[in-house]
Structure formats: structure tokens, C-alpha cells
Chain A
Amino acid sequence: MTKNAVRANRIRLPALALAAALVPAEALAHASDRGHVLLLPTGHYIAGGAAAVALSFLVLAFAPQPPLDRLARWRLPLGAPPPGLRLAGSALSFLFLAFLVAAGFLGSRDPLTNPLPLMVWAVFWVGLTLAQSFLGDIWRFLDPWYAPWRLLSGGRAAPHALPARFGYLPAIVQFFAFAWFELVHPAPDDPAVLATAVCVYFAVNLAAMLVFGHEDWARRGECLSAFLRMMARLAVIEGRDAPDGRRRLSLCLPGAKLVGAPPLPPSGALFLLLALSSVSFDGLMRTFFWLGLIGVNPLEFPGRSAVVASSTVGLAAAFALLGLAFFAAGALGERLAGRTGATLAAAGALVWSIVPIATAYHVAHYLPSLAVDVQYALAALADPFRRSVELFGSPHLHVHAGALMGADRVWLIWNLQAAAIVGGHLLAVLVAHVVAFRLHGSAAGAARSQLPLAVLMVGYTVLGLWLLSAPTAG
């Protein structure tokens, strides 16, 4: 521990004791935009959303299957991306990341004027994930590891194979660490803290790629690539490697790629469920309900530092609960359909139906803030190494935060969020149904096997809408 850290700790303990002992005399917890949401008839939306998802399941149980199957197989060829695009894109992406990390260490200490936190948390984690979900595997051309790996490995085969028995475990461990850093760490926005985290994460995963090969580690080890590749299966552009080695792109319907995706091993299914549970917990941890559970006054939120332990437990518990619920629903469904012995395989195929739900949660929870954060990001990129707020008041840097404010905008945003949550679940029911039909070969068997999962999806619709309508701190 450094001298500074020792001194900081020495100061902090009496400081916190004093903070607890003193009477804080003002609380500026204002009527945030959630206040407008509390006046909306959100209960009706929740009931309506749940009914729509349940009804869609019933309709599908009686719908003719072959047309749905044909729709899922429909493709429109789009041509091929230029060869070399992947290497060039990756090299540029790596250089841009290096530039952002430099800005993180050397630029402004303010997370809203330093480009690194804005690019990582807003543009990459929110923006790129959504682009990936709607368009396709853009990450393939932006992955900053590929070019350095090619350079360092010389394109030779990996010295070791990543053991199959590990499954997606490395990605699960890393994603949990990533989610913990985002949601629980006291200062994930701090430019220097984030720059350090990015360097460590990049180096660890580059080293692993040199040992196990880029492709396998990006699929099962490096959690951001693994996550983004899974999200891209929802999208409308499909990329496939043709026999001539060229990549071919084609257009398909949203979710169609999920139906034909190879079943995931149980660890892969758990990885996808971890991604969804972390976004769900991100919503839950701000609610009065959760803060009440951990004994925190939501009007006097003591800051992230004070809730590290409870948030860590909550993040892990959310993952455990969702994992348990999903596999229990899968097992029960197989039993209802009269099948035995293939429960895990069925779950591995059906888990792809989680992708539209994860995307819906991502849209609903993060898209509104993206509208403002992108403005901050552009302003920060305009002057990445400045270290004062001298220019902040100048017109070209004024951030229009009002885009999200006021009752009418809140109404609009709430409706978009509700549409995303319900739409995502409807698509999930559809995907699950087509997958189940392929597994069972009959509409009746598919419907019976889907019943528990449909109940889970209705429940998750209710949870999603409730998280967006419940009172929250801040």
C-alpha cells in the first residue's frame, strides 16, 4: 500500500464516522424524471405487457409452423466486405484505444470532459452493443486485439488449445468482473482508474490470445467479444465465411440467426444469463425497494462506497436466481413434453431466445442516457487533453441535457422503453417457439415444452417494466 493510500485510509475512517454522526442539513434529492414516471399509469402498461407476451405464446401454440420456419431461413445476399478490412479496422481501433487510454491518464480528471469514460461506457458499452444487436457483427472489424495478435503471433497456430472442459468459464469470470467494475466499484468513471482497468484487461486478454489463439479466446474467454458476438445473432445482417475464404454478407429477419445457432454448452448459456442478470441488477440496485432491503435511506444515498458489499452480493444473487429459474423452466418444459435426457441440450438451444430480452433491457436502460452522453463524448473528443473547465461555458461545448427532461419527453421515453421491453419479449417467445418446434417436431410438443419458459418470460416482462417505473434514488 502506498503512503498516500495509507494516509487516505487514516483520514477516511474518522471522516465517515463523523459523517454518520453529524446531521446533514439539506438533501437535494430532487424530483428527478422518475418523478414524472411515477404519475403515469405504469400499472396498466405492466399488465398490458404481460398479457401481450402471454397471448403471443398462446397464438404461437396454434399457429402453423412451416411458414415461421421458412421466414427464419430467408436470406438476401448483400455481397462481401473488402478483404483486409478486419485487419485495418482492428489496427485503427487499437490505435484509437491507445489514444483514449492516454487521454484517460493525461487528460481532464472530470469524467464528463475526459473522452475515455464517455467512449467506454456510453459509445462502446451502450452504442456499440446496440449497433451490434440491430445491424450485425461490426465488432469483428473493430476488435482492437486482432491486429496486435496477428502482429505478435505472426499468424501461427496457437501453442495451446483452450481446454473444452473450461467451456465459457473464462468469459463468465471476466464478465462478472466487468459488471462488478461497472456497477459496484466506487469510481468506474474516474479516467485514471478506468485507463488502468482497460490496460490490464487488454494485456491479460492479448496474452491469453497469444496462448490459446484469437478465435477461441474471443469466443469463450474475452467476455466483451463473446457478449458482442452473441448479441449480433439478433441482428439483420449475417456474415458467413464462404468456401473461397471470403466473407459473405446477407440480410435476414431479426432473430432469424438465433433460431439456427448451434446450441450453447451450459456454461455458454450461463454466460448469456449473466449478461442479462447484470443489466437487470443495474436497474434493481437503484430502486427504493432494493435500498430498503439493504437498509439505505434512498433520499440520502450514502454513495457507492457504502454499498460495495451488498451490491456485490446482489449482482451474484441476480445471476444465480436467473440461472436457476431458466434451467428449472427448461427442465420442467422437457418433462411436460415427455422428453428425457436432453434437458441441457434443449436449454442450450433455447437460451438464444434470451438475446432479444438482453437487447431490450439494454435499450430500455441505457438508450436515453446515450442521447446526452454522446454529446459529452463529442465535446470531450474535441479537446481530449484539456485539464480545466475554462471552455466549458462556450457555446460549442454546451451539452443539451434537456433532451431527456420534462414530462412530455419522459412520457415519450417511457413509451419507447415499454415498447422495447415488450417487443424484446415477444421476439423471445417467437424465437423460443421456432427452436422448440425444431427440437420437438410438433407444435403440441413445442407448446408444452415452452410453457414454463413462457411463464418466466411473462415474469421478466413484468420485472423489466417495473424496474423502469419504480421509484429510484438519484
Chain B
Amino acid sequence: MTDVRKPSRLFPSSVSRRGALKGLGAAAALGAAPGFVRYAQAQSSAPVRIGFQAHRTGIGAAYGRWYERTTAAAVKAINDAGGINGRPVEIVTEDDGTDPARGAEVVEKFASQHRVDLVYGTLFSHVVTGSAPAAGELKIPYYVVSEGYHVASGKLNRWVIQPGITDVRAQCRSVAPWIAQNVGKKITMIFPDYAFGHDHRDFFGPAAEEQGAQVIARIAIPPTETSFTRYFPQIPSDTDVIYHVMVGPAVLTFVKELGEFYGGRGPKLFGFIDSLEAVDINSPGLEFLEGSHFWEGMPRYLQPDASEAERAYRAAVGLDDNGAAVNDPRDVSTNAHMFGCWETLHIIKRSMEAAGYRGIEDRQKLIEATEAMTDMEEGIEHPQGPKRFDGRIHQVFGTQNISVVENGRLNVVHKTSIEDGLYEPEADYTAQAF
């Protein structure tokens, strides 16, 4: 494996180097310092430094572990293929504690202390929204992998961009036609009563109604609830399909109680795999999911028709056929989401190459190069499937998978088209000044 340690490693740390440089005072003095000249000369082959804002601790840690593994695998793949513009990629990881306030501090550290080329990798929405103003103020590209609608909504800024994973609005829209045509037209939604659940309520409901389906009940469950049986009588008896997006530790209890309530004779179920990421689908309590359908960004289980690119991606990340770590079968991955890290890093590579990126003075060119991207073909850089990027809203669109639980496995039964998820943009970041 290539060791890409940076040439300036002789300095004890970037911080102290910076501190020493600051002491010299003027820019002229900087130019005259022998160490600075050496580093400047080495810049053409110096690593591209990417600041990885990682959820290593806090409530995002289970996802953070797999985001880290996917990042490491993507960096290795990129470096093995010659790096970016001939320069190796180096990842600098900072933990944000899955904490928005720390997220902003981490972005500040990346920009000022580590002087990375860009910041990347954030998953949790509240950390993205907490960090985005710092990225905008410090004018550092901020590539997030969070699937939230916050980027596409236009409420962030031009330095924040989500080119490697689709957003929840597109995901909801994508699955609506298939549900209406194949599962049923009378839909009851059960969702946690806060922002996440409200997004599903607000995005899926209208999309389903466009398809001739009808949401006949919306059951909001308080976030602190851990027993659900008393809510089930609110489900209308003529419901064809229950659309459920429960999350948190009580989701197993929810599934078990729902199964016991209907005793196998109830409406069909459609859910999002988010809450069962990193959880074995064969866990006790989940037997009732047999025959139900799930959205998956990328299939957890290896499908018979998986592309060569997808197989290569899974091997590089270290996934077995069941979507768990190849050398640790209990460690189930977050495969529906983590491909976003792989694809984002490859988009960063493409953008840097298109921009002729040399150093942090080219950060604006980097954003502009990503904004200029449009269609991306399925392949090793995009193993999840083809993508279409909309530079105006800094958001990528792609295909989605609908899978059925059969014999304790998730088997893909339908792949949506990119067009299924498209919606009218509500913003245009390219009109904003940098």
C-alpha cells in the first residue's frame, strides 16, 4: 500500500509550523524563509489534503465507522490509480462528535490549522446545517454525504454541495409510482413526529397523490414513544399499504408489535431501510418483515445481476454477500448510504482534474467545476448507478432500489429511474456570489 505521508512531515505538526510562520510576520518574510520555499517547490507533488468531518463519537458513530471504511477504500482506489492530477490523496480525520457546534469548529480547524483543500464526508443533517455557515465564511468547499434536502432547498450556501448521494425528497418521489402501481393506492403513513418524519409526510404524500394514490391516514408518533400498539387502531381498515419510517432503538419493538397486531393478515408494508442500517434483518422481532418492501440506496445483499463495478466496490470496501464486513459477519454495514462517500470522492477527483486544481487558491474553481457536472455513467466511480447532477441546487439525482424481504434477505424487485426522482428546483446557488 502506498504511503502518502506529506513531505512536510518533518515539522512536528501543521499547527506549530503555522505558528512559527506567523511569528515571521510579513508575507515577504515568509517567502524568504528557507522551509517555505522548499515546501512551495514540492507543492506540485504534495498530497491533495481532504478534511474528513467524521462522526467518530456521538450518536452517529455506527455510521461513522462505515463511512470511514468506505472513505479509506476510495482513497486507496484513487491513489492506486495515480491519485488526483498526479498527486496522492491524504485524508485528515477530525471527529465532530455528531455535534453541530463542534462541526463548525472542525470546519474552522480544517481551514485554518490543517489547511486542507476541502472538507468532506458529513452525514447527519444537523451537523451539516451547523457547519455550512463556517464553510461559507471561510470559503472552503464542503462536500457532504447526508441525503438531507437542506442542500437542495437553497438554504445553505455556494460552498456546500452534495454530489454523491440523493436527497430524501427525491427518494420519496422515486418510490411513489412503484408503490401506487404495485402495492396499493390507499396508504397510511406512520412516522415519528419531528422533522425527519415530517419530511416524509410532506414529500411522499403529494408524490403519491400525483400517482393516483391516496394517503388516507397520517399517524404521527411522539419521538419518545417505545410502545406502539395503542396507535394501531388508528390505521383505517381499508388501508392497502402502511408506509413506515420509524427510527431509533424502538424500531424493532414497532415492527414486532405491528406484526402481532395484524397476525400476518394486515396491509402490506413499505419502509425506508435507514432505521435498520447496520442491523441484521434476521434479528428476533423482524420476522414480521418477511414479504415487506424497503427503499435501499444501494442493495445490502449482493444481487445476482450486480454489475462488475458494484462487485469491485464491495470487494474494495470489504463487504461479504450479506452486506457485512467480510472478516466480521456480525458487523452489518450501512450500505444503503455509504456508497455516497465513494462516489463523492471520485467526483472530487473529476472536479479537481477538470478545474486544473493546484492548491487552495483554486477552491472556487473546484466548486465551479463540480457545478458544471451533469450526467455521470454507472461504473467503478459510480457503482450505485448512473447519476445526474443539478448545479443550480448542488444536488445529485440517481436511481433507487426497492427490495423485498424474502427468506431473511433483501432482494431488489425494482430499480427506479433518475427521472422518477426529479423535482422542480427551488434555488439557484450558481447565482450566488462566492
A371 to B337, CA, bound (A): 27
Contact mask for chain B residues 81-100; partner A; CB cutoff 8 A; 1 contact, 0 none: 00000000011111101111
B33 close to A (CB within 8 Å) = no
- Does B402 touch A at the CB level, under 8 Å? no
B123 within 8 A of partner (CB): yes
Query: Is the CB–CB distance between B274 and A389 below 8 Å?
Result: no
Check if A403 is an interface residue, CB within 8 A of chain B: yes
CA distance A258 to B224 in the complex (A): 42
Residue of A nearest to B251 (CB): A31
Contact B284 A303, beta carbon cutoff 8 Å: no
Q: Is A157 an interface residue (CB 8 A)?
A: no
A to B CB contacts below 8 Å, 28 in the list: A15-B132, A16-B104, A23-B150, A23-B195, A24-B196, A25-B125, A25-B149, A26-B199, A28-B123, A29-B248, A31-B248, A36-B252, A38-B253, A39-B252, A109-B114, A189-B95, A288-B226, A292-B224, A297-B224, A300-B126, A301-B98, A302-B100, A303-B126, A305-B97, A305-B101, A391-B1, A471-B250, A474-B59
Contact A401 B99 (CB under 8 A): no
Complex CA distance for A311 and B188, rounded to whole angstroms: 39
- 7 further A-B contacts with Cβ under 8 Å, apart from A16-B130, A38-B253, A392-B68, are A11-B108, A24-B125, A25-B195, A27-B125, A105-B13, A297-B223, A299-B192
- CB pair B199 A38 closer than 8 Å: no
**Once the chains are docked, how many angstroms separate the CA of A400 from the CA of B327?**
8
Q: Label chain B's interface by main secondary structure.
A: mixed
Stretch from B70-78, B351-359, B373-381, B386-394 at the A interface: B70-78
Least CB distance from B280 to A in Å reads: 6
CB-based contact B328/A108 at 8 Å: no
Say whether B247 faces chain A, with CB atoms less than 8 Å apart: yes
Q: Which residues of B contact A14 (CB under 8 A)?
A: 133
- Cα distance A108–B9 when bound, in Å? 12
Residues from chain B with a CB closer than 8 A to the CB of A189 are 56-57, 95, 97
Q: Which of A4, A306, A388, A398 counts the most B-chain CB atoms under 10 A from its CB?
A: A388
Q: Mark A160-182, 1 if CB is under 8 A from B, else 0.
A: 00000000000000000000000
- Beyond A186-B99, A186-B101, whether A394 also contacts B1 by CB under 8 A is yes
A103-131 residues with Cβ-Cβ distance < 8 A to B are: 105-106, 108-113
Could you say which residues of chain B place their CB within 8 Å of the CB of A394?
Answer: 1
In the complex, are the beta carbons of B223 and A299 less than 8 A apart? yes
Contact count band on A: 35 or more
Q: Is B397 an interface residue (CB 8 A)?
A: no
Given A24-B148, A110-B93, A112-B56, A15 and B130 contact (CB-CB distance below 8 Å): yes
Chain A residues contacting B284 (CB-CB under 8 Å) are 36, 39, 407
- Contact residues in B for A7 (Cβ distance below 8 Å): 108, 112
CA distance A36 to B250 in the complex (A): 9
Q: Does B117 contact A (CB under 8 A)?
A: no
Instruction: Give the CA-CA distance A407 to B224 in the complex, in Å.
Output: 22
Residues B101 and A11 in contact, CB atoms below 8 Å apart: no
Q: Choose one: A11, A108, A186, A393; the contact of B133 (CB below 8 Å).
A: A11
The residue on A at minimum CB distance from B71 is A389
Residue of B at shortest CB range from A105?
A: B13
B277 within 8 A of A: yes
In the complex, what residues of B have CB within 8 A of residue A391's CB?
A: 1
Least CB separation from A404: chain B residue = B330
- Cβ-based interface call for B371 (8 A): no
* Residue B415 is within 8 A (CB to CB) of chain A in the complex: no
- List residues of chain A with CB within 8 A of the CB of B279: 30-31, 35
Whether B274 lies near A30 (C-beta < 8 A) is yes
A34 at interface, CB cutoff 8 A: yes
A-chain residues with CB within 8 Å of residue B2 when the two chains form the complex: 390
Tally of A-B Cβ pairs under 8 angstroms:
309
Measured CA separation A12–B133 after assembly (Å): 8
Say yes or no: A38-B133 contact (C-beta < 8 A), given A25-B125, A25-B196: no
Complex-state Cα separation, A41 to B186, whole angstroms: 36
CA–CA, A390 and B90, complex, Å: 7
Assess the B248–A298 pair: CB atoms within 8 A. yes
Which among B76, B95, B127, B150 is the interface contact of A390 at CB below 8 angstroms? B76
Partner of A389, one of B63, B93, B95, B149: B93
What 0/1 readout, one digit per residue, does chain A (291-335) give for beta carbons within 8 Å of chain B? 110000111111111100000000000000000000000000000
Residues in A with CB closer than 8 Å to B61 are 474
- A window 359-379: CB within 8 A of B: none
B239 at the interface (CB under 8 A from A): no
B-to-A contact residues, CB < 8 Å: 1-5, 9, 12-13, 52, 54, 56-63, 65, 68-69, 71-73, 75-76, 79, 90-95, 97-102, 104-105, 108, 112-114, 123-127, 129-134, 137-138, 146-150, 153, 155, 167-169, 192, 194-196, 198-199, 223-224, 226, 247-253, 256, 274-280, 283-285, 317-318, 324-325, 327-332, 334, 337
In the complex, residue of chain A having the shortest beta-carbon distance to the beta carbon of B247: A29
Question: Which of B65, B100, B113, B327 has the most chain A CB within a 10 Å cutoff?
Answer: B100
Contact of B57 (CB < 8 Å), options: A111, A471, A473 = A111
CA gap between A243 and B242 in the complex, in Å: 78
Are A31 and B65 in touch, CB under 8 angstroms?
no
Contact A30 B101 (CB under 8 A): no
Question: What is the CA–CA distance of A405 and B332 in the complex, to the nearest angstrom?
Answer: 9
Q: What's the least CB distance linking B1 to chain A, in Å?
A: 6
CB–CB B146/A26 < 8 A: yes
B58, B92, B131, B199: the one contacting A304 at CB < 8 Å is B58
Beta-carbon nearest neighbor of A398 in chain B: B327
One of B59, B102, B134, B249 near A11 (C-beta < 8 A) = B134
Which residues of the other chain, A, contact B318 by a CB distance below 8 angstroms?
393, 398
A8 to B137 CA separation, bound complex (whole angstroms)? 10
CB-based contact B134/A109 at 8 Å: no
Q: Judge whether B250 and A38 touch: CB under 8 Å.
A: yes
Q: Is the CB of A305 within 8 A of B283?
A: no
Residues of B with C-beta under 8 A to A297: 194, 223-224
Expressed in whole angstroms, the Cα–Cα distance for A400 and B330 within the complex equals 9
Q: Are A390 and B250 in contact (CB under 8 A)?
A: no
Contact in complex: B68, A15 (CB < 8 Å):
no
Which of B223, B327, B330 is A405 in contact with, Cβ under 8 Å? B330
Check A28/B224 contact, CB under 8 A, given A4-B112, A23-B150: no
Q: Bound complex: CA of A291 vs CA of B192, how far in Å?
A: 16
Closest partner residue, chain B, to A31 (CB atom): B251
CB distance from B393 to the nearest CB of A (A): 13
* Contact yes or no, B59 A473, CB < 8 A: yes
Q: Once the chains bind, are B93 and A38 in contact (CB under 8 Å)?
A: no
Please provide the 3 A-B residue pairs with the shortest distance between their CB atoms, ordered closest to farther.
A303-B99, A402-B330, A474-B59
A30 to B138, CA, bound (A): 33
Residues of A within 8 A of B195 (CB): 23-25, 27, 300
